Structure 1
């Protein structure tokens, strides 16, 4: 202290250090209280150096999780079958029919002639078994429950019976 009773440089430094230590101790205690209250209230954790589910995830893992959470595995697999239709049903059948839709476990197939529509209706049991071997099962054990066969989209003959 100076002769007039005012603190000098070293005394000011000691007082500042004591005030900083007191403030740090208060902050640490407040942090501990908030942390304990947050754990009790189920507050969101803060990210640290360890990996957790909030870290960036690989796209393939994220897509897989979304597909399973929303029940999209079977429709996506059926989409793959539709894309590879000739390999699944064979070239001969694929030349005369195409899949046109899939909804609620029903695969809709359109034939290019009434004769092929009848043929596909007869083959639908075997095709159904083959399709369900190619795709993951749905909730009841089958992804494709039924095959609906449509005839040709438009008549093959004009009004007078000729093309």
Structure 2
């Protein structure tokens, strides 16, 4: 570090003088980097690509300052946080009548959705057979409501009969029916 002995030592700056010196240095640095004074990140030429907003009123068109629909805000938050797959699964299970229609939902209900396999329980074996034949239409309705890839296959079951098998240990055979007569 070489100092010029002919230069007088600068007095220590305080308060407003220190702020002025910092501003002058910032302007000099900006000028050296090719930016004119007053051009910052919000400028369309150097900024983030967003159009510059007029101050005052927003005019007749939509603006970022306008109120946003709640559904749009929640979907934006779920996408930014990576919740979209879970929200889609919840839509299939929670809004079943709107997704597949009132007729199907009156006779079948979703049980679970795991790894793209939707388990559906029908109220009768006839409805289970009917739903198996309509499987491609049901998958198309679900894809239209929540997007492709959420539900890949359907597992449709009819009503289950009561089980006579109780507990871990049991004896093979007809069970309690063999004592009926």
Tell me the TM-score normalized by structure 2: 0.46
Report which of the two has the higher share of helix.
1
Q: TM-score, normalised by structure 1?
A: 0.49
The one of the two structures with greater contact order (alpha-carbon pairs below 8 A, sep at least 6) is 1
